[in-house]
């Protein structure tokens, strides 16, 4: 009696399709990237078969392999969606939650997993008596804008710094305006 081992071709295809961003792609699926972050960053998914494996024979050459290619190099976050203008009215409570995909870091993920800080035009942390504040835990702006001194719309400049766990950062420059 002989033992015949078959190549689990269909199972390998299913595993592969679960790891990539669509059929025919070598781009890692978003879920895989998030699961491996921050220790590993898959750049592409391919298949590498050992020479003596059941699937390495010529009749199974249509299987191209499964092997995540990983990198431990850190990259700075990228601003995905700028916060250019934020509009509000004097005397009305202003609350604005930063969108989940405001910035993205390959190692740490989307905005909720990154460190956001609001800085004034000089790069210093916003003072406690400033009308505009930033709740770092909830990642939202809030405040009660005062009446504009000239009666004309007022525009202020700030920096919203988005940093990853290793301290690399990217900045956006929101300009809240009110009248």
Range of the structural domain that residue 105 is part of: 78-178
Tell me what pLDDT residue 95 has.
94
Q: What CATH number does residue 149 fall under? A: 2.60.40.10
Strands 103-105 and 78-79: antiparallel
62 and 88 part of one domain: no
Is 102 inside any structural domain? yes
158 and 95 part of one domain: yes
> What average pLDDT does range 85-110 have in this prediction?
88
149, two tokens:
């001194």
pTM of the predicted model as reported, rounded to 2 decimal places: 0.57
124 and 104 part of one domain: yes
Q: Is the pLDDT of residue 26 over 80?
A: no
Please provide the average confidence, as pLDDT, over all residues in the chain.
Answer: 79
Is 158 inside any structural domain? yes
**How far does Cα 52 stand from its chain's mean position?**
40
Answer for the pair 46, 25: CB distance below 8 angstroms, yes or no. no
143 and 88 part of one domain: yes
| Residue 116 bridge partners (DSSP) | 162
14 and 93 part of one domain: no
34 and 118 part of one domain: no
Query: How many domains is the chain partitioned into structurally?
Result: 2
Q: Give pLDDT tens digits for 120-134.
A: 888 899 999 999 999
């Amino acid at each position: 009696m002989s033992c015949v081992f078959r190549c689990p071709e269909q199972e390998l295809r299913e595993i592969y399709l679960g790891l990539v961003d669509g059929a025919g792609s070598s781009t890692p699926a978003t879920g895989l990237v998030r699961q491996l972050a921050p220790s590993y960053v898959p750049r592409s998914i391919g298949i590498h078969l050992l020479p003596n494996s059941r699937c390495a024979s010529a009749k199974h050459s249509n299987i191209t392999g499964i092997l995540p290619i990983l990198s431990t190099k850190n990259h700075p976050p990228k601003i995905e969606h700028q916060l250019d203008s934020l509009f509000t009215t004097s005397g009305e409570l202003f609350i604005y939650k930063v969108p989940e995909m405001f910035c993205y870091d390959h190692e740490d993920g989307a905005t909720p997993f990154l460190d956001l800080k609001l800085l004034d035009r000089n790069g210093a942390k916003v003072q406690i008596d400033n009308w505009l504040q930033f709740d770092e835990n909830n990642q939202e702006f809030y405040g009660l804008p005062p009446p504009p001194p000239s009666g004309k719309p007022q525009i202020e400049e700030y920096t919203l710094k988005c940093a990853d766990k290793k301290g690399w950062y990217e900045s956006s420059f929101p300009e809240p305006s009110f009248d």
